[in-house]
């Protein structure tokens, strides 16, 4: 899938877009102008078209493909947890890149169709028994925890920023419970980076912390991603130097 995924990501951002015919959405009675604009953007989004062509459940699959092409997060045989997995696009990519020797577990509070090759669990990862359930499904600790979750937006940027940072913080605390030493944590944040307390916690528990915005993220979107590698495991609580880079 590696080759297929790479060509898919590149093709979506370059080749498909250059050949694509612009489709216009007819204004339907009762449809808000904002809904019409959203539909037109979806119809003319090369990533949406490529996702349909390749059978991915969402265009977001290409964000993980592009991040993995750059940072080499997903490797054959690894154990991967996908938090907030619905509708399953990131889980699909993980299955393809980790292969049959690995184990992938997706969890979401929303019901979604199972992804072949993965264990898809319905539940809240904040529940007390969730870490044990995931470890049992993985037959051990995770090598990678990924999260593309985003809190519902209010339209008030400071509030939205605090909400998504809060979501990343709880995802990180969960990851610290289930990751094996040397593991990786990848999560969506807002541009402007992470809050100091969150960044300090990441640097305390991982050897390297980077930020990156994949090409599949829409230019107008404030989203970016934090990639923390080299989980220190039991030594994570000790203060130590770590690298921090802007990707």
The whole-number average pLDDT for the span 103-130 is: 93
108 is an annotated ligand-binding site residue: yes
Instruction: Report the chain's mean pLDDT, rounded to a whole number.
Output: 79
90 is an annotated ligand-binding site residue: yes
CA angle at residue 39 from 187 to 50, to 5 degrees?
60
- Superfamily of domain covering 61-246: Vaccinia Virus protein VP39 (3.40.50.150)
Domain boundaries, the chain: 2-54, 61-246
Residue 239 has pLDDT above 80, yes or no: no
Residue 213 has pLDDT above 90, yes or no: yes
Does residue 229 sit in helix, strand or coil? strand
Please provide the DSSP assignment of 132-188 as one string.
Answer: HHHHHHHTS-EEEEEE---PPP-S-HHHHHHHHHHHHHHHHHHHHHHEEEEEEEEEE
Where does the chain show beta strands of DSSP type E? 79-83, 103-108, 119-122, 142-147, 179-190, 206-212, 223-231, 243-246
Considering only residues 151 and 173, tell me which one the structure prediction assigns the higher pLDDT: 173
32-75 pLDDT tens trace: 655 445 445 545 567 788 878 887 888 899 999 999 999 999 99
What does pTM read for this prediction?
0.76
128 is an annotated ligand-binding site residue: no
Maximum pairwise Cα distance, the chain: 61
148 is an annotated ligand-binding site residue: yes
Which residues are catalytically annotated?
Answer: 188
Tokens of 109: 């509070």
Contacts of 134 (CB under 8 A, 6+ apart): 81, 105, 107, 121, 125, 142, 178
- Between CA 66 and CA 217 the distance in angstroms is 10
Identify the pLDDT of residue 72.
97
The whole-number average pLDDT for the span 206-219 is: 91
Identify the pLDDT of residue 166.
82
38 is an annotated ligand-binding site residue: no
- Between CA 203 and CA 229 the distance in angstroms is 10
Residue 238 has pLDDT above 60, yes or no: no
Tokens of 8: 């898919």
Considering only residues 11 and 226, tell me which one the structure prediction assigns the higher pLDDT: 226
* Residue pointed to by tokens 């209010």: 154
């Amino acid at each position: 899938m590696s080759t297929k995924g790479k060509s898919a990501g590149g093709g979506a951002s370059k080749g498909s877009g250059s050949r694509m015919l612009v489709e216009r959405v007819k204004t339907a009675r009762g449809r808000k102008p904002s809904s019409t604009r959203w539909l037109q953007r979806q119809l003319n989004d090369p990533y949406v078209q490529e996702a349909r062509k390749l059978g991915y459940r969402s265009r977001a699959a290409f964000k993980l493909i592009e991040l993995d092409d750059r940072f080499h997060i997903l490797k054959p045989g690894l154990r991967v947890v996908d938090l907030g997995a619905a509708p399953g696009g990131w889980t699909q990519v993980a299955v393809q890149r980790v292969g049959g020797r690995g184990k992938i577990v997706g969890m979401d509070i929303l019901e979604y169709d199972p992804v072949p090759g993965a264990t898809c669990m319905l539940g809240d990862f904040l529940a007390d028994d969730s870490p044990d359930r995931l470890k049992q499904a993985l037959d051990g600790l995770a090598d990678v925890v990924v999260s593309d979750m985003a809190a519902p937006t209010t339209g008030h940027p400071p509030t939205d920023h605090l909400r998504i940072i809060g979501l990343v913080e709880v995802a990180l605390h969960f990851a610290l419970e289930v990751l094996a030493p040397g593991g990786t944590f990848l999560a969506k944040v807002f541009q402007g980076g992470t809050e100091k307390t969150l960044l300090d916690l990441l640097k305390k528990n991982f050897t390297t912390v980077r930020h990156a915005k994949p090409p599949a993220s829409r230019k107008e979107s404030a989203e970016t991603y934090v990639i923390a590698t080299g989980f220190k495991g039991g030594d994570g609580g000790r203060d130590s130097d770590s690298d921090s880079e802007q990707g």
